Amino acid sequence: MPRNPADSPIQPWRLFPPRQIATTRVFDVNARRGQSTANPDRSGEFFSLDCPDWANVIAITPDQQVVLIEQFRFGIEEVTLEIPGGTIDHGESPAAACQRELLEETGYAGDEVRMIGRVSGNPAIQNNFVHTGLILNAKPAGVPKLDQFEEINVSVIPLDAVPGLIRTGAIHHAFVVAAFQHLSLTDV
């Protein structure tokens, strides 16, 4: 069995203060020097994105359907099929962000959020985590409130169709696939 990371033979590198090399609405890009503690002759410049944590939410209706959204994604220049989610606001809890994003993006609301897992967005080059919430008994509860850049289509599909959509690649967003892995490890 793997050790607790604190007992790992791999030790954290010494990191020097970051220098911001770009800033955007969604993330900042930092560069900083890192130096191996095991071998101080080994050092280099490393780049990372400074981002707030994100939340996504698996919302399941009383008849065991899951609420999905389609939206155009600027990174891959494609319309993707995903679960709702977004940036956790400063001071907001991951659970509150799940509830808010579900309502804002889809107009759905349901039972109290249960947090079922979190993943690091991309630990090599990003500092943030993505938190997955589960909301049962989700039902239409209002009109979506989209932000200025959001165009979203809401659909519901049977929860038991999700594995097939992941297998065929119709659902391919890494955070969404990871969210359903966490769901499969959760006693609902």
Using only C-alpha atoms, the chain has a radius of gyration, in whole angstroms, of 19
Closest CB to a copy of itself among 90 and 167?
167
CB 187, min distance to a copy of itself, A: 10
Among 103, 118, 134, 160, binds a copy of itself (CB under 8 A): 118
- Sequence-ordered alpha helix ranges (H) in 17-168: 94-106, 162-167
Contacting residue, 45, 89, 112, 160, with a copy of itself by CB under 8 A? 45
Of 46, 96, 109, 114, which one interacts with a copy of itself (CB under 8 A)? 46
Q: How far apart are CA 120 and CA 128, in angstroms?
A: 6
Contact residues for 125 (Cβ-Cβ < 8 A; gap 6+): 47, 48, 49
Total residues at the site for a copy of itself (CB under 8 A)?
81
- Per rule CB under 8 A, is residue 188 in the interface with a copy of itself? no
Of residues 7-26, those binding a copy of itself (CB under 8 A): 8-13, 15, 21-22, 24-26
Choice from 53, 115, 127, 159 touching a copy of itself (CB under 8 A): 127
Looking up tokens 């943030």, which residue turns up?
A: 128
Q: Give the number of other Cβ atoms within 10 Å of residue 76's Cβ.
A: 10
